[in-house]
Amino acid sequence: MERLGLRKLTIQYGSTTVIRDLHLSIQDGELVSLLGPSGAGKTTILKTIAGLLPPSDGKIYIDGKCVNHLPAEKRDAVLIFQKPLLFPFLNVNQNIGFGLKMRHVDRKTAVRKIERILEITGLNGLGTRKIHQLSGGQQQRVALARGLILEPAILLLDEPLSNLDPGLRGQMRDLICSLQTQTKTTMLFVTHDQSEALSISDRVCLLLDGKLRQSGTPQELFYHPADQDVARFFGCDNILPCQTFLPEQSPNGRKELFAIRPEDIEIRTNNRNQDCIDKSWFNGTVEKIIFEGQLTKLTVSTSPGYDLTVLCRRPSFHPGQSVYLRFPKERIHYFQEPPEES
């Protein structure tokens, strides 16, 4: 069953089109990430779904009903902002129960629901605290609890982890996953952080320049990018012509490109292990080495004039060193070069 449907959604600020012809369908119980760089239009989409911004064109469906004409409070969607917007004069219980009160839910049911949500969001014992007596992470939990308790058709989360420090971010990410599993709430999670999107989602939708460029499982986007831009967004800098590096796999001289992830390139010094160097290996020279912690990033120049990015663990290379490189066949991802503009 479709919980959220966006059909040909176009959104403009004045004469500037930020989102053009967007299609998106989210099924019951799915956790979908809307991923994209800063300024891609992610918040704009969430605000439009929530009813805070009118679309210029297209339709928004929630639970099968077109909601374009409905004001925000009549839509069965809850938006949770980057910075939790809580009532400072109310305590945690009152903040969480606020929406229930507005819906005239009876007191006994409200107390029961609040108790359950405090339990599953790890806020037990904090119900009578005022908001200023909570840490940033606890405040974000209250915001989540306040949204979840309403059991909306869709929960819209706008970068809810970005104000938290890295340790807490991991904990909150795990909490959102477990809340989603427990409550089966359908969620649209906005982030610009690819690792956050890849680790949390059933499905990732990548938004670039106001267009949905690819939608699929985290593994599909990471290992099978639809085009060069998607590949680059996921850190694959090596987009290369087949004719130069893989001539036998480039029939009819077609302008085909392939991508190889930096961590998938095999690299060896060329002064030992000569026995196992066959014609699948080619020469390169290490130009630059950047230590990044778990992995080290190398820039390696090749004789056809293309620089490659290679990631390896604890390498023992130095700048200027000659190396052998190889692209394992099973790690090569092919795509077509876009048509040339006339």
Contacts of 121 (CB under 8 A, 6+ apart): 141, 142, 144, 145, 148, 175, 179
Helix (H, G, I), strand (E, B) or coil at 325: strand
Q: Name which of residues 189 to 218 contact ligand ATP (CB under 6 A).
A: 192
In contact, 315 and 296? CB cutoff 8 Å: yes
By CB under 6 A, is residue 38 in contact with ligand ATP? Answer: yes
By CB under 6 A, is residue 274 in contact with ligand ATP? Answer: no
Q: CB nearer to ligand ATP: give 43 or 93.
A: 43
By CB under 6 A, is residue 160 in contact with ligand ATP? Answer: no
Q: CB nearer to ligand ATP: give 19 or 298.
A: 19
* d(C-alpha 34, C-alpha 90), whole Å: 32
Q: How far is the CB of 45 from ligand ATP (least distance, A)?
A: 7
Phi, psi of 267, deg, nearest 5: -140, 140
Q: CB nearer to ligand ATP: give 36 or 225.
A: 36
Which of 22, 32, 43, 113 binds ligand ATP (CB under 6 A)? It is 43
Q: CB nearer to ligand ATP: give 84 or 315.
A: 84
By CB under 6 A, is residue 44 in contact with ligand ATP? Answer: yes
Which of 111, 48, 46, 129 lies closest to 82 in space, CA to CA?
Answer: 46
Q: Which position has the token pair 């339990």?
A: 119
Q: Which range touches ligand ATP (CB under 6 A), out of 42-50, 227-235, 288-296, 299-307?
A: 42-50
Q: CB nearer to ligand ATP: give 48 or 121.
A: 48
Q: How far is the CB of 18 from ligand ATP (least distance, A)?
A: 4
Q: How far is the CB of 43 from ligand ATP (least distance, A)?
A: 3
DSSP-derived letter for residue 337 is P
The residue count for binding ligand ATP (CB under 6 A) is 11
Burial class (CB in 10 A: 0-12, 13-18, 19+), 183: middle
Which of 7, 82, 95 lies closest to 48 in space, CA to CA?
Answer: 7
DSSP-derived letter for residue 90 is S
In contact, 273 and 298? CB cutoff 8 Å: no
- Compose the 174-193 pattern: x for residues touching ligand ATP by CB under 6 A, - for all others: ------------------x-
Question: What torsion, rounded to 10 degrees, do the Cα atoms 136, 111, 147, 103 define?
Answer: -140
- Cα angle 29, 35, 38; round to 5: 145
Q: CB nearer to ligand ATP: give 82 or 301.
A: 82
Alpha-carbon separation of residue 281 from 37, 231, 274 (angstroms): 36, 24, 11
Q: Which range touches ligand ATP (CB under 6 A), out of 32-40, 143-151, 221-229, 267-275?
A: 32-40
Q: How far is the CB of 53 from ligand ATP (least distance, A)?
A: 8
Which of 36, 137, 147, 284 binds ligand ATP (CB under 6 A)? It is 36
* d(C-alpha 20, C-alpha 48), whole Å: 13
By CB under 6 A, is residue 42 in contact with ligand ATP? Answer: yes
Q: How far is the CB of 82 from ligand ATP (least distance, A)?
A: 8
Which residues of the shown chain bind ligand ATP in the complex (CB under 6 A)? 13, 18, 36, 38-44, 192
